[in-house]
């Protein structure tokens, strides 16, 4: 699959050579980032790992695990200075398209209750809360629950 936004954002499969940039971007947007090894493991496991680039500069990434007819969006991010410009919304829709193309009938994800911007993005995309996963995320001074969301394709 390939797509292009009118803002000159292109999507392509993530490659091992992207991992240092992906890892640096991850560290800049999350207080408790994945390690470069987490991303490497996802690539090696054959997950759908994608990057978003603008004028050749990596500005976002996503990791999707598809099994049978379900997909789990494990991670998605856009560089902080480019957030709230529609890039994440378009990338999320692209990844939903990847899931659909791979035969998924549902897409699931977890989100922190404290991540209000992401929660709104997912709500606008049609995700519904299914459950709460207690203590799912590391947090300063303890753990934070995860909202488990899903969308039917």
Query: How high is the pLDDT of residue 4?
Result: 42
Stronger pLDDT, 6 or 131, i.e. the higher one? 131
Does residue 36 register a pLDDT over 80? yes
102 is a domain residue: yes
Catalogue the E-assigned strands of the chain.
9-13, 48-54, 57-67, 70-78, 106-111, 128-139, 142-152
133-139 mean pLDDT? 96
Catalytic residue among 11, 110, 137, 144: 110
Q: Which domain holds residue 113?
A: 9-152
128 is a domain residue: yes
CA distance 73 to 107: 7
3 is a domain residue: no
2 is a domain residue: no
97 is a domain residue: yes
Is 26 assigned a catalytic role?
Answer: no
Query: How high is the pLDDT of residue 153?
Result: 97
Does residue 143 register a pLDDT over 90? yes
Does residue 7 register a pLDDT over 80? no
CA distance 105 to 34: 27
4 is a domain residue: no
106 is a domain residue: yes
Task: Report how many domains make up the chain.
Answer: 1
Catalytic residue among 47, 94, 108, 122: 122
CA distance 76 to 125: 14
Query: How high is the pLDDT of residue 113?
Result: 97
Angle formed by the axes of helices 87-101 and 116-125, nearest 10°: 50
pLDDT in tens, 37-78: 999 999 999 999 999 999 999 999 999 999 999 999 999 999
Query: How high is the pLDDT of residue 8?
Result: 87
Q: Are strands 106-111 and 142-152 parallel, antiparallel or unpaired?
A: antiparallel
Q: Within its chain, how far is the Cα of 7 from the centroid?
A: 20
Angle at the Cα of 60 from the Cα atoms of 123 and 14, rounded to 5 degrees: 115
Is 137 assigned a catalytic role?
Answer: no
Residue 91 phi/psi, 5° resolution?
A: -65, -40
Output the domain CATH number for residue 70: 3.40.630.30
């Amino acid at each position: 699959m390939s797509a292009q936004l009118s803002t000159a954002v292109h999507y392509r499969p993530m490659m091992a050579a992207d991992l240092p940039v992906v890892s640096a971007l991850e560290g800049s947007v999350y207080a408790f980032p994945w390690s470069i090894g987490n991303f490497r493991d996802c690539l090696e496991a054959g997950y759908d790992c994608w990057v978003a680039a603008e004028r050749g500069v990596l500005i976002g990434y996503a990791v999707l695990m598809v099994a049978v007819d379900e997909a789990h969006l494990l991670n998605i991010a856009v560089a902080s200075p480019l957030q709230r410009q529609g890039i994440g919304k378009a990338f999320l829709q692209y990844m939903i398209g990847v899931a659909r193309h791979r035969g998924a009938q549902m897409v699931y994800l977890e989100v922190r209750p404290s991540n209000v911007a992401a929660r709104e993005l997912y709500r606008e995309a049609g995700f519904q809360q299914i459950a709460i996963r207690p203590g799912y995320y590391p947090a300063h001074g303890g753990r934070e629950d995860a909202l488990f969301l899903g969308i039917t394709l």
